[in-house]
Amino acid sequence: MRSPGLLSAAWHFRIPQGLGSVRSVILPSALKGPVQGLLGPTPNMLFKTLVTAFLAASGVHAHATFQQFWINGVDQGDKCVRKPASNSPVTSVTSNDLACNVGAASTSGICSVAAGTTVSVEMHQQPGDRNCATEAIGGNHDGPTIIYMAKVDNAATAVGSSANWFKVAQTGLVSKDYWGTDVMNAACGKVTFKIPSTISPGQYLVRAEVIALHVAGSVGGAQFYMSCYQLQVTGGGSASPATVKFPGAYTAT
């Protein structure tokens, strides 16, 4: 269930823009509904305790992972995704896990796609559960969806934290109380974007990410949900966009 309205609290962080530039931005923390009671003193400590317990219990069920990949509307399944070990978020912006998630082992599968092609990544709360009646990520886990790519020598063995990443797509706050995650939920968990037509051919990692801001009113409260996909890009050009590192692209303050 969703509660209306945004609080005035904000989350400060650095985020790459476009093909390589970086700027600092302030995003509304989107702390909603019962979370407001946790931001200041309340005379009813029992209520506060119950709310905290409720959020802790329900938050686990709202966690999610990116799992499947689509090329021109054709389902590729999960053959080229590095599956995270769990659906829990990464919360440290200095952890190497910020690149491709915790325990996300590489796979032998590589999806081949031409530069300029429309592709989609697909997120769901539980492994293999693609039921569109269930939100891809729920529990007021509102925030932007962001896509990065990194050219690598071998997508099956590349280390995400050593790669050089450039951003290719982002959907943030679309309108009041409506985020990129809401757009994704309305599309049955899919985030759709184009492989840049100007990048050089070769092997790439694609990093799909949700940044959940529901408890980001305090430093370290943002939750990062990401998966990496292994791609072979054909065609294209010779563009070499500016890049960032994960960790390194974001700061907590």
Residue 25: phi, psi to the nearest 5? -135, 160
Q: Which domains does the chain have, with CATH numbers?
A: 10-234 (2.70.50.70)
Residue-level pLDDT at 61: 55
Report the amino acid identity of residue 171: T
Could you give the count of Cα atoms lying within 13 Å of 68 in the half-sphere of its Cβ? 20
Q: Going residue by residue through the chain (253 aa), what tens digit of pLDDT does each one get? A: 343 333 233 344 455 555 543 333 334 333 333 222 223 333 343 333 333 344 444 444 579 999 999 999 999 999 999 999 999 999 999 999 999 999 998 999 999 999 999 999 999 999 999 999 999 999 899 999 999 999 999 999 999 999 999 999 999 999 999 999 999 999 999 999 999 999 999 999 999 999 999 999 889 899 999 999 999 999 999 998 999 999 999 998 8
Q: Given this model, what pLDDT does residue 71 score?
A: 99
Task: List alpha helices for the chain, DSSP H.
Answer: 45-62, 97-100, 180-186
Q: How many other β-carbons are positioned within 10 Å of the β-carbon of residue 208?
A: 25
Alpha-carbon distance of 104 to 160, in angstroms, equals 10
